[in-house]
């Protein structure tokens, strides 16, 4: 074989090897991104990529419910309390456990907002109506075997108290429900906090927040349809609902490091444990 021909063959082989390496790296990178179900993060009003997955966000969110109040050494001296011996959030029902074979298995820790005013009273009444009354009805009149588990978390960030209560309930053959109730209260200004207050305070663009919400919800809806096609019963999201407009969000908290969690707990209104959590 002549030298020029041999050199040309060597060059061709090298080119093929380089292309193969490039294709392999490309495929590996995009396969990893796909497998990780990449979420998005908002910074300075813009959407940027983030490596954390929705599954990880949901698990991290659930891990917050340790039945503790993280006050950040907030000065509570200026508040009129219901019980002066306790902090402004405490466990009204603390570590309650009760099990009766064939009837129920209950584990519940339920908070009280320990401030004597109309806003705190409203929140505490909602807690009673949603979580405490359900516990009492299970104890007094459970017609099917019921598993009921309630926990909470609470934080103060920049004068804003955020409280979230999460209950898991399984009644007989019905699907398990996951119920999440949140409260956000400006301690300094003595008023309820809306999602629009948070968006404005953070300098976020509401349209970008909506974009992030819809990207996550649409992905979850597509995944659910894929599972449904294989015979699974899944919760069907109405992706066109205005509930996914950032300015209409009513279930949210600020977490331990000031993270904003926007919460879609579909079990609040349906028999499902499905939820979408948007972290910003």
What's the pLDDT at 1? 52
Q: Above 80 in pLDDT, residue 35?
A: no
Cα→Cα distances 25→11, 14, 35, 49, 208, Å? 21, 17, 15, 20, 32
Q: Above 70 in pLDDT, residue 157?
A: yes
User: pLDDT by residue (tens digit) across 92-129?
Assistant: 999 999 999 999 999 999 999 999 999 999 999 999 99
Residue ranges and CATH numbers for the domains of the chain are 38-279 (3.30.565.40)
User: pLDDT by residue (tens digit) across 252-262?
Assistant: 999 999 999 99
What's the pLDDT at 227? 79
Mean pLDDT comparison of 20-29, 52-61, 106-115, highest-scoring range? 106-115
Least confident range of 9-18, 210-219, 245-254: 9-18
Least confident range of 21-25, 30-34, 131-135, 203-207: 30-34
User: pLDDT by residue (tens digit) across 265-275?
Assistant: 999 999 999 99
What's the pLDDT at 48? 43
User: pLDDT by residue (tens digit) across 168-195?
Assistant: 999 999 999 999 999 999 999 999 999 9
Strands (DSSP E) along the chain, which ranges?
38-43, 46-53, 68-70, 89-100, 104-113, 146-157, 160-171, 177-186, 191-192, 252-254, 260-265, 275-279
Mean of all residue pLDDT scores within the chain? 86
Please state whether 110 falls in left (phi above 0), alpha (psi between -120 and 50) or beta.
beta
């Amino acid at each position: 074989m002549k030298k020029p021909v041999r050199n040309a063959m060597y060059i061709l082989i090298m080119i093929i090897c380089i292309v193969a390496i490039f294709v392999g790296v490309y495929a590996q990178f995009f396969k990893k991104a796909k497998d990780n179900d990449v979420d998005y993060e908002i910074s300075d009003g813009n959407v940027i990529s983030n490596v954390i997955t929705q599954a990880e966000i949901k698990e991290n969110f659930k891990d917050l419910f340790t039945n503790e109040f993280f006050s950040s050494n907030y000065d509570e001296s200026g508040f009129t309390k219901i019980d002066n011996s306790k902090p402004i959030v405490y466990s009204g029902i603390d570590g309650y456990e009760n099990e009766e074979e064939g009837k129920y298995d209950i584990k519940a820790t339920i908070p009280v907002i320990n401030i004597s005013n109309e806003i705190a009273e409203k929140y505490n009444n909602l807690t009673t109506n949603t979580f405490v009354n359900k516990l009492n009805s299970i104890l007094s009149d459970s017609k099917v075997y019921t598993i009921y588990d309630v926990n909470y978390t609470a934080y103060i960030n920049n004068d804003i108290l955020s409280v979230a209560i999460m209950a898991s309930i399984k009644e007989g053959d019905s699907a398990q429900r996951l119920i999440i109730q949140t409260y956000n209260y400006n301690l300094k200004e003595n008023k309820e906090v809306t999602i629009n207050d948070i968006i404005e305070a953070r300098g976020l663009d509401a349209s970008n927040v909506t974009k992030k919400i819809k990207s996550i919800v649409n992905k979850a809806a597509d995944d659910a349809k894929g599972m449904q096609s294989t015979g699974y019963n899944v919760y069907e999201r109405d992706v066109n609902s205005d509930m996914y407009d950032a300015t209409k969000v009513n279930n949210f908290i600020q977490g331990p490091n000031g993270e904003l969690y926007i919460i879609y707990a579909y079990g609040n209104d349906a028999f499902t444990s499905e939820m979408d959590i948007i972290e910003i």
